Amino acid sequence: MKKTIALLGQPNSGKSTLFNGLTGSHQHVGNWPGKTVEKMEGSFTYENEEYTLVDLPGTYSLSANSDEEIITRDYIADGNADLVCILADASQLERSLFMLTDFIGLQVPAVLILNLMDVATKLGKEINPAAMEEQLGIPVIPFVAADKSQYTTLLKTLKKALAAKKLLHTDYYKRYFSSETQLPYFAVKELVSDCATSFRSPHWLAVKCMENDKNVLTFCKAGLSKEKYAALTALTRDIKRGSLYTGNCKFAIIHDLTKAAVNSPTKKPVLSKFDRIATSRIWGKPLAIGVMLLSFAVAMIFAMPLMGVGMAIPSLISEPLYNIMTSLKLPPMLISLISQLVPNIISFAFSMCGFVMAVTFIFSAMEEIGYMARMAFVFDSLMAKLGLQGKSICAFLMGFGCTIGGAAGTRVIDNWGQRLLAIALVWSVPCAATWAVMPTLAQIFFGNGAVIVLISLLLFMFVMMAITAKVFGNTLAPKENRVGMIMELPPYHKPKWGHIIRTTLSKGVDIFWRAIKVITVVSVVFWLLSYTSTGNVENSIIYNIGIFIEPFTKLFGLSWQTFMAFVASAISKEAVLGVLSALYTGSGDVFTATFGTVGTADLNVILPQVISKAEALAFIFACTFNMPCLVALASTHRESHSLKWTVRIALYYTGMALLLSFVVYHIGLVVF
């Protein structure tokens, strides 16, 4: 029977690196049943035996403060795993062992993996795994998750641990809780013993009850008589600040454990000159913004070759495909579909893959080096106002370059709800393509006043972010579930380039195929709507739809032509000028204008004659804050693993863009 191994640890303990290192491409992602929390499962084979690996949500404890913690705890306490790997950051051992102390009393075989041993060694810390193993009763494995050469030893130890089924010593650590005078440990433990299971020991239940854990109290209620449960609630109700006292016990355990097994340098760490600037309240933010802009520039340099290949694909294969299919005398509609659609789908997917791979590479390097933590630190208080963590700032800054990169940048956020909220907010940030197209339109319609229009777009971005945070914040990241940053600044260290490259390539392949699927569906629909055998737009379905709905779109200050350009802006911001050119100057068909390159000749002459300034202003705002692009939609689905939330966010931005267009149009009628 296939064995299941679960990975348990705090955020940034190396779980994801270990998970990717063991499973490679043999992994799939979804959501836990009934919860909007990411579920990652994978498989690997060792010595002809196949294992299932579950990467549990990263949490700081096994309390019930968030969905992540409840899911993680219930999965373990219900006996779903044959072995639990508890990961701890060896370079910050005192802090990262708290999860281990919360595990005491769960009767599930476990091993402790001390990750980042190389960093701990550089800091002068000498850790004795054998001494820790003797005290804990479970295997303790020194490890570097980014070092592929260490996996063979790890796999051997895991196989032995599955056979030995060693449990964390519980009896030894009971004394810490029983000696705490503020806790009625023995009385509570005796009461809950009747509802203990083979996985939940009386000790574990007692500690959680003394912490007034409502989920555990509900569990005990189902297994106790009314009299015993009444006595239990009376005891726990009288405990004031139970979590504080149990926390003191857990920190005492950590102190004694590390005192016996860890020899740390006596010299207190001192911030370097760079860190004094990087964490400064005054200079930290400008430095972080500068680093992110530089990172974006480097990412673009890395992405350009692959993006260049993607952009060249239509011109390279469209005509040969057309000639081959024409010689085969295939139906004209099929020829048009394949020769236009297939090259552009591959082009879009290649371009997305190139940029996201570059962003993944840069972000992974910055994370491993240790600078990302400094950046998150200086922006944490600002991001908290939006219900997010300091780490979110990276995604927003990358969003100015590309929404795809911004969505990918949210991977550093540990809480799933906050991560999805950050993605939703990143959509409010106009990307580089938007800033390339909108100034052109603003100049055409407003001349010297274009600067005022662009400043207005930038200022409204902050309003849009605030509104979006209000709309989605309470659902995705309610105040009681928001996770702030609890961290020590990690030391700087040289990144493992091999690991970063492997991770980047793996993500790139996955992103490419996901993008192909999403782009194909939308592209086929748009092609069918815009196809015409004569090349005359008036014979297309999209034209007839436009004419039919124009009385409605006029309410938003959009003619059917500008409305179709608005729709195209959700596919690609670069398509806006092309579609306007195709519809107003007759230079090409709508599909080619959207997915290809169409000239914008005479737009600066024609558009001001047929579109009023009020309509133009409404159109510019609507396109700017519409769905960023088709590839951003695919990227959001890739990062969220939730079709429901991807659709919700897309519909929200479409609706908000039209509402904004309505408001701006009617204001424009007054102003102009």
Separation of alpha carbons 414 and 483, rounded Å: 8
**What's the pTM value of the predicted model, to 2 decimals?**
0.63
Three-class HEC string of 94-147: HHHCHHHHHHCCECCCEEEEEECHHHHHHCCCEECHHHHHHHHCCCEEECCCCC
- Cα end-to-end distance, the chain, whole Å: 75
**pLDDT tens-digit series, residues 432-480:** 778 878 888 888 899 888 889 989 998 999 999 999 999 998 888 777 5
Q: Which tens digit of pLDDT belongs to each residue from 524-582? A: 776 777 777 666 667 777 778 878 888 889 989 998 888 988 988 888 887 787 677 66
Give tens-digit pLDDT for 595-640.
554 444 456 777 888 889 999 999 999 999 999 988 788 888 877 7
CA distance 614 to 622: 12
Those residues of the chain that have pLDDT short of 50 are: 587-588, 597-601
Q: What is the model's pLDDT at position 587?
A: 46
Dump pLDDT digits (tens) for 144-168. 988 889 999 999 999 999 999 999 9
Q: Determine which helix (DSSP H) or strand (DSSP E) holds 28, and give its type and residue range.
A: strand 27-31
Half-sphere exposure of 143 (CA within 13 A, CB side): 29
pLDDT for 396: 86
**Distance (Å, rounded) from C-alpha 88 to C-alpha 262?**
14
What is the pLDDT, as a whole number, of residue 601? 45
User: Please, are residues 128 and 37 in contact by the beta-carbon 8 Å criterion?
Assistant: no
Distance, CA of 74 to CA of 649 (rounded, Å): 30
